[in-house]
Structure 1
Amino acid sequence: MISAKPFDFPYDGNLIPAATALIVIDLQEDFLSPTGYFARGGYDPSPLRAILPTVNRLIAACRAAGIRVIHTRQGYRGDLADMTPYEKWRRTRAGLAGTTVLLRSSPGFQIVPEIDVAADDIIVDKTCNSAFTYTDFEHVLRAQGITHLLFSGCTTDVCVHTTLREACDRNFQCLTISDACASGDQLAHEAALHMVTVENGIFGALSDSRSVIDGLARLKARQAR
C-alpha cells in the first residue's frame, strides 16, 4: 500500500500494477512556457515547471512497477469548430484571438520535452477541463482494465481536480500526488489538495511522490520474491 491520508491507498490494500495508471495532465508548452496561455493570463508558470523532475521520477517508478502512463493534452481544433461562443468570448477577453495558443495545430499544444513520453504511453486529447468530457478516456481505461488512478500534472485546481472528481463518480480509486501537481495560484492549489481529504476522502486519498515511489518499490520487491 501507499502511505496517504485520510487512508492508505488503496483502501483495500489491493494495488495491482496492471489495473493502475499514472495520469499526467496537460504538461504542455502552452501551460508551462513563458509565452503560453498561462503566462499571457498573468500567471507565473514556474511552479508548473518545478514539478517536472518529480513527475519524471514518478513516471520511471511506475514503468518499473508495470503501471501504465497516460498523458492528456488540452487544445482546440485549428479551425475552432469545437470552440463554443463562450469559449471564443473568453479567448478574445484574454487577448488570444488570432493567436495559435491552445490550438492543436500549434507547437504549444505539445507536451514539454522535459517530460519522458514513451512510445507505448497513451495520450488523450481533450477540449475541456475534464479528460472524460467528449473523449475516449474512460473507454481506454475500461479497455485496459484500469481501476486505480494516480494523479499528477496541471493545474491542481482546474484540470487535475475536474478529472479527479469525475473519476471518483465513475468509481475509479484515486490518489492525488501533492508535489506532482501545480497551479499558478498557490491558494487554489492548497485548497484543491485539501478538498481531496475532506469527508473521509470524498475524492480519494492524498499522498506525495516519495511515499508513492517507496510504495511502488516495496510492491516490486514483493513481486520479485
Structure 2
Amino acid sequence: MLLGRACGAGLSLRHSTLRHEPVFPCARAASPGWVGRMSTQGDPQHRPEPADPAYQSPPQQPQTPPPGGLPTYSAPSYPQGGSAPAAPAGPPPAPLALAVKLMYAGAALSVLGIVAGVTGTGSVRDRLEEQGTLTSSAIDTAVSVTVVFAIVGGLIGVALWILMAVFNGRGAQWARIVATVLGGISVLSAVSLLVQTVPPFTLVVGLLQVVLAVVILVLLWRPASSAYYRARSNRTLQA
C-alpha cells in the first residue's frame, strides 16, 4: 500500500513538473504539420505550411504589363457635323467658262428675237390678208397675239439662258442636264423655221441660236467640264 501511494505521488509530481509537455507523445509524432507550426511559431519570416499538401493553393504568377504598353490611337479631328472639311472649289475649266459666256450671248440673241418678233408683225398681217379667210378685226387679233407670244417667249428665253449660265458656271449637274434638254429643243425648233415662211431677220436669229446651242452642248460635255461637275458634286455632298 505504501509503495503504491509513493508511486502515485511520484507520478503526480512528474505530471506537475512536466505539465507543459503534451500528454500523448504518440499523437505528437503522428502530426508533423503540428510540429512544424510549433517550431516556426516564433519566426515571423517563415510562412507555415498546412499539414495536407492537397490543401495548398498553387503559386500565383505576377501579372506585369507587356513591355511598351498597348498602342493608343487618336481619331482625326473634324469640325462640328462629323464630316471631313470640303476641298476648296477652283475656277471652272476653259471649255465650261467659254460655254457660260456663250450662254450670256444666247440671252442677248433672245432679246434680238423679241425685236424680230415685234417688227415682223407686218409680214404676218400681209400673209393673213392674202389668204382672205379672216376679217380685218380677226387679223388684228392674230397680229396682237403674235406680238404677245414673241415678247413672252423671248423673255422666258432670256431668263433660261441667264439661269443656265449661272448654275452651269457653279458646276451644278442638274443645270447641265436641263441645258442639254433645252439645246435639243432648240435644234428641233430650227427645223420648224426652215419649213415655215418667216421674216429673214427672224430666221437668222433663230439659226444663230441653234448653232450656239450646239456649241454650248459640246463644251458642257468635254472631259474637263465633266471632271469639274463631278468635283463640285462631291464637294456639295461633303459639305
Q: TM-score, normalised by structure 2?
A: 0.24
Bigger radius of gyration among the two:
2
Structure having the larger proportion of residues in strand: 1
Q: TM-score, normalised by structure 1?
A: 0.25
Between the two structures, name the one with larger relative contact order (CA 8 Å, sep ≥ 6): 1
Structure having the larger proportion of residues in helix: 2
